[in-house]
Structure 1
Amino acid sequence: MKGEQIPHKMLSEDPFSTWMGIEILECEIGRCKVGMKVRGDMLNSMGKAHGGISYTLADTAFGFIANTHGKYAVSIETSINHIEALNEGDYLVAESVIEKVNNKLGFNIIEVKRGDELIALFKGVVYRTQKDWEE
């Protein structure tokens, strides 16, 4: 299976990301841009988007990017810095700005933006298995 096809397969088999409304905007090997709109049922008790919303979007982008190299890759460590609060109706985009891959590990930094405004920074490390993605 070609690397840029893998995220589409992953999304089609991911009910949680589908429920979130995540869509693939662009995808190629080592790069994937995803987006979603914040809905009312994603807000916390303060009327702002729950922190898990931007985290989930970034984590989904991270998983897609890591797997575009054709091998199953699984997350082993992640973290996020929340920079700005999010509101209902905000459209968010997550994209990797740094990727470093070696035989067993992959490292990514993902920016989450609302328009041109940086709202979160996500860092992730994946373990790259030797299992190939198949059609």
Structure 2
Amino acid sequence: MTPRERAEKSAAALWAGDRASAWVGMQITAIDEGSATLALRIREDHCNGHGIGHGGVTFLLADSAFAFACNSRNQATVAQHNSITYLAPVRLGDTLTATAREVALSGRSGITDVTITNQDGKVIAEFRGTSRAIGGSLFEESP
């Protein structure tokens, strides 16, 4: 199995149990070993009292892209710590893209950066997550 095939199979297994990402309306648009791209169109129910996209929705998108990138090797992996910096507001109707890329992996710990852009390519937020492999796999691989 190639690394990309493993990443695709890992993403399918993770997606099957990921109710939150599907509920909010995300789509996986690309997946590979150590990377993932997810997209989300901003709906009315994603907006806060100021009429702009809720920061929690942007964080959720980034966190999901982070999760798919971290789990792309078929090793069950969770977040240790995540942070986000918001750089521009999100508007109703925007299509956000979260592009996650692993920047470091050492033993069971990793660092993954996620850039969130809108449909015009404007950077909306930057997210950094640290991960920890917890043992186990997402699907059974034959030896």
Query: How much has 1:110 moved relative to structure 2?
Result: 0.4
For each residue in 1:87-114, what CA deviation from the matched residue of structure 2 results, as whole angstroms up to 9, or x when unmatched?
A: 1110000012452111110101100000
Mapped to 1, the partners of 2:138 and 2:64 lie a distance apart of 17
Q: Deviation above 6 Å: which 4+ runs of structure 1?
A: none
Residue 122 of structure 2 corresponds to 117
Query: How much has 1:34 moved relative to structure 2?
Result: 0.5
State the identity %: 25
Residue 59 of structure 1 corresponds to 63
CA RMSD for the aligned pairs? 1.4
Matched, 1:129 2:125: no
| Structure that is richer in strand per residue | 1
Structure 1: unaligned runs, 5 residues or longer: none
Query: How much has 1:131 moved relative to structure 2?
Result: 1.6
Mapped to 2, the partners of 1:96 and 1:45 lie a distance apart of 29
Change (3 A) 1:67 1:117: same
Mapped to 1, the partners of 2:128 and 2:111 lie a distance apart of 8
Structure 2: unaligned runs, 5 residues or longer: none
1:48 to 49, 52, 60: 52
TM-score using structure 1 length: 0.94
Mapped to 1, the partners of 2:17 and 2:127 lie a distance apart of 24
Does the aligned pair in 2 maintain the 1:8–1:24 contact within 8 Å? no
User: Secondary structure of 2:76's match?
Assistant: strand
Q: Which amino acid aligns with 1:102?
A: S
Query: How much has 1:117 moved relative to structure 2?
Result: 0.6
Count of equivalent residues: 135
Residue 80 of structure 1 corresponds to 84
